[in-house]
Structure 1
């Protein structure tokens, strides 16, 4: 018969009682715990996860993760601002989010700071399912703007300086991935040259090379992949992820095209753009209507929206001109970038460069009026320079890295 150590048994009972006293959640029914957590903001959930092993097991469990993700996805999307604020004494970086439909409502604002290397200014890709990716040269970070948690990725394997990067989510394998490409100079054939091409443009043509992918995770590392389409990514293009595919603008066979990269199969593809001069020369991708959309705005004139309705059939639709003329909205010397359309139908323009205090313009195409929206919490010292990136459709998440 096994002997029972009464002292050990009593010690375990005392420790159990102490754990219950220190963790009041242990006495609450599971259904009520989930309800409390579902109503908590991401930063509070991050703190509760560290409170005890019991809470960590619930928050890290599959059931709660699916419930919280479904709830966040059903909530109204938010605007997200990445703000770099610099002065002679101090440089800081923080993220600010607010209501997408009513940016001026101060009751729905959130501010999360993150201490970065003051010598580095990260350029961020659009957020995906609550996470965001930033790059400065060959240095990259992945983080959660809602909790302030950021981690460094391994440095990109390249010596080139011209790098394109895009961030996306692979729903098939439930992982996040980053795509990176560099440029190389390809010598052209001087005996084969079109009249429509400049000699210098053909003789020295920059093409993408060193295609690399990294899967965000514990054993993350960069992997070289092949691309059968010889193309050149637009240096100013931003990659946008839709349904497990990253899209970006590029030049392919001397024509501007839409490139796509399937995050699951890790294969590239090309989609032709409609035959439109302004689209090819001035078009840039925007976040609009849940579909890949290219906005073209030339010389301050009207804006055309080209929407990719069917990816496989390469069917595009052109919407009505959403602005009579940008000259009717802006002063002659002002520069603004079209960013997208709110749920209210208002069109957002972001000023270039970023003003301090920061504001953006909302234009109502029905009422034909424009309003200036100052975002509280972004830039309160006019002596400090700020650099602001604006993103649509941000979803709050408590995800840990």
Structure 2
């Protein structure tokens, strides 16, 4: 018998050889699932879009991708490649874009960079003017009704207003690394401080004791579970003074740091200087250390309005322009090498249409796949 044809001697003619069909695949329930630890290790290296698709593969995969160990591993991997987040309002929508934060020494930055689109809020929900610094990928808006969003999952939630008398309030965003919880702390214009914990079924605001009435100003930063922010207050009941307040996120306690500071701090930004609170002005000054910009600084900046955004773990101070009227620039000032790198960000057609928008630039942003259930 050769090939697929055979010869029937009795009948004297050929007939088609019947080829055995392959055995049927075993029922799905008998197939072995990929071990969860292997899935966690492999999927933690995927881009955000692919992680979202993998949630739809099966109930098993969806369950694995919601596990705490996967979320933590993905966050650790992402922390090694932090991003800079840009947000502004266009046609009533709050839009988020991002770029990789670290400068590539082999890349030519004479050409503009097109940022990655992250997400946007529905029209009408993005009217706030600024946002709190990014903490473990989560963002809180500076608005009377706080809104928390995760650009990685494109989810957001709104919190109830903490005041009942129509008072204005300023929210701050903090994280307790011991209890592993986020909290929103706010100060209202009647000098009442309140705090709430995220992740609870019912959002409740708790009053925080404050011995010195104060009103919050623009600078804030959360370092190792302590939220620092700049305030104005009356000294001796008559003289206006500026002080730094720290809020222990875990203990929910307030205290003032040091004494009254000079008005120069109004033109500064709080930054994380190797794990310590620092105040940096456009002269890049804190304590008794002064760093002078290289000569090219004046050629790059001229009369452009810029803002100190913060400091990276690599020791670079990042500054940026604040408006889309002109091209948006990000400046990397390496204080050790005294070098300055300018990167132009091109939002293309959206940037041209939103040319009157103010841009908030947030550094050390990471990607977090934790869903806001």
Q: Choose the corresponding residue for 1:124, options 122, 131, 141.
A: 131
Does 1:150 find its partner at 2:150? no
**Are the aligned partners of 1:364 and 1:370 in contact in 2 as well (CA < 8 Å)?**
yes
> What CA distance in whole angstroms lies between the structure 1 residues aligned with 2:137 and 2:194?
23
From the superposition, tell whether residues 244 and 371 of structure 1 become closer, same or farther in structure 2 (CA, over 3 Å).
Answer: closer
- Three-state SS of the structure 2 residue aligned to 1:239 is strand
**Unaligned runs of at least 5 residues, structure 2:** 1-25, 236-240
Aligned residues: 334
Partners of 2:39 and 2:112 lie apart in 1 by 29
Whether the 8 Å contact between 1:357 and 1:379 is mirrored in structure 2 is no
- Tell me by how many angstroms 1:76 deviates: 2.8
1:83-102 equivalences under 5 Å are 83-86=88-91, 91-102=92-103
Give 3-state SS (helix, strand or coil) of 2:61's partner: helix
The correspondence of residues 214-293 of structure 1 with structure 2, limited to 5 A, is: 214-235=196-217, 237-252=218-233, 254=235, 255-272=241-258, 277=262, 279-293=264-278
Residue-by-residue CA offset, 1:145-168 (whole Å, 9 max, x unaligned): 112111222233243454221111
Distance in 2, matches of 1:163 and 1:153, equals 13
Unaligned 5+ residue runs, structure 1? Answer: 1-15, 185-207, 307-316
Query: 1:114 pairs with 120, 131, 152, which one?
Result: 120
Residue 391 (structure 1) shift: 0.9
Cα separation, 1, equivalents of 2:30 and 2:70: 22
Q: Residue 234 of structure 1: SS of its match in structure 2?
A: strand
Distance 1:378 1:171, change over 3 A: farther
Greater C-alpha Rg: 2
Q: What is the 5 A alignment of 1:2-401?
A: 17=27, 27-73=33-79, 75-86=80-91, 91-102=92-103, 109-118=115-124, 120-122=126-128, 123-136=130-143, 138-184=144-190, 208-209=191-192, 211-235=193-217, 237-252=218-233, 254=235, 255-272=241-258, 277=262, 279-297=264-282, 302-304=283-285, 306=286, 317-323=287-293, 330-332=301-303, 334-341=304-311, 347-363=317-333, 372-377=342-347, 380-384=350-354, 385-401=356-372
| Contact 1:287–1:340 under 8 Å retained in 2 | yes
Point out the structure with the larger helix share: 1
User: RMSD of aligned C-alpha atoms?
Assistant: 3.3
Q: Is the 8 A contact 2:320 2:328 kept in 1?
A: no
Cα pair distance change 1:364/1:29, threshold 3 Å = closer
Q: Cα offset for 1:345?
A: 5.8
Q: Distance in 1 between matches of 2:114 and 2:313?
A: 16
Cα distance, 1:129 vs structure 2: 0.8
Residue of structure 2 in register with 1:191 after alignment? none
Q: What is the TM-score with the length of structure 1 in the denominator?
A: 0.72
For 2:28 and 2:371, how far apart are their aligned partners in 1?
Answer: 28
| CA distance 1:44–1:154, change in 2 (3 Å) | farther
**Distance in 1 of aligned mates of 2:33 and 2:113:** 34
Contact 2:142 2:172 in 1 (8 A): no
Contact 1:278 1:296 in 2 (8 A): no
Tell me how far apart the structure 1 counterparts of residues 322 and 72 of structure 2 sit (CA, whole Å). Answer: 39
What SS does the corresponding residue of 1:382 show, helix, strand or coil?
A: helix
Secondary structure class of the residue paired with 2:347: coil
State how far apart, in whole Å, the 1-side matches of 2:64 and 2:122 are: 31
Conserved? CA contact 1:43–1:146, under 8 Å: no
Deviation string for 1:43-83 (max 9, x for gaps)? 4323433443212321222332332233333x132211113
